[in-house]
């Protein structure tokens, strides 16, 4: 199966996925990085790993529809089976999501549905919860929503600073995301009534 990773920033989860693939933990082909930011660190990471890069910038297109149509054409050119969002800072349209329903994964630094949005780690820390975590889920038409694939918790200790919490979250993300991708590639995931079931076959 061919995988496309979408990223807008430094790409630490992308690096974890690359490393898992190099270790043989992912039985698929990391075929493409799609990036909407010329300055993103993910681009240099992809080039070092000899992964093709498509820089597709929203500002080069008159509308979001045209921007997404270019992405779709690129995905078709590379025969992409799975899209992995790794810090991609744009919401995909409902039409795009429906086209790739059940084939778009996202990772979020909280136990969804708690602390949605772009500041989940800070929000959990400020709120004073004792437990937060990481969620890997299939993407649907709503933000930070969709069938959950994997979730794992992280305890927030009294001594934790926001930076320590972020480091713990990122460490867990780098473990959990490759695991979820491996389940997909191994055809172990089934979506039933908007829930993900793990196949034992």
Q: Which residues are known catalytic residues?
A: 108
Going by C-alpha positions, the residue among 21, 80, 32 that lies closest to residue 55 is 32
Beta strand extents in 56-188 (DSSP E only): 82-85, 104-108, 131-138, 148-155
> Do residues 131 and 155 touch, judged by C-beta distance below 8 A?
yes
Going by C-alpha positions, the residue among 59, 74, 69 that lies closest to residue 96 is 69
List CB contacts of 104: < 8 A, sequence separation 6 or more: 82, 83, 85, 92, 97, 138, 139
- Tokens 């199966």 found at: 1
Measured N-to-C along each axis, helices 12-22 and 41-48 cross at an angle, to the nearest 10 degrees, of 10
């Amino acid at each position: 199966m061919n995988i496309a990773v979408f990223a807008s920033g430094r790409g630490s989860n992308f690096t974890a996925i690359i490393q898992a693939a190099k270790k043989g933990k992912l039985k698929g082909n990391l075929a493409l990085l799609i990036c909407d930011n010329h300055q993103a660190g993910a681009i240099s990471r992809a080039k070092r790993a000899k992964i093709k890069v498509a820089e597709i910038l929203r500002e080069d297109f008159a509308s979001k529809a045209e921007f997404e149509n270019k992405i779709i054409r690129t995905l078709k050119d590379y025969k992409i089976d799975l899209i992995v969002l790794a810090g991609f800072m744009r919401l995909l349209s409902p039409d795009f999501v429906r086209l790739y329903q059940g084939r778009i994964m996202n990772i979020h630094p909280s136990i969804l549905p708690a602390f949605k949005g772009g500041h989940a780690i800070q929000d959990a820390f400020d709120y004073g919860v004792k437990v937060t975590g990481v969620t890997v889920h299939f993407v649907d038409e709503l933000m930070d929503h969709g069938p959950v694939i994997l979730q794992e918790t992280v305890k927030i200790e009294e001594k934790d600073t926001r930076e320590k919490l972020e480091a713990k979250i990122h460490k867990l993300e780098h473990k959990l995301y490759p695991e979820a991708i491996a389940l997909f590639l191994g055809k172990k995931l089934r979506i039933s009534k908007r829930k993900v079931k793990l196949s034992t076959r």
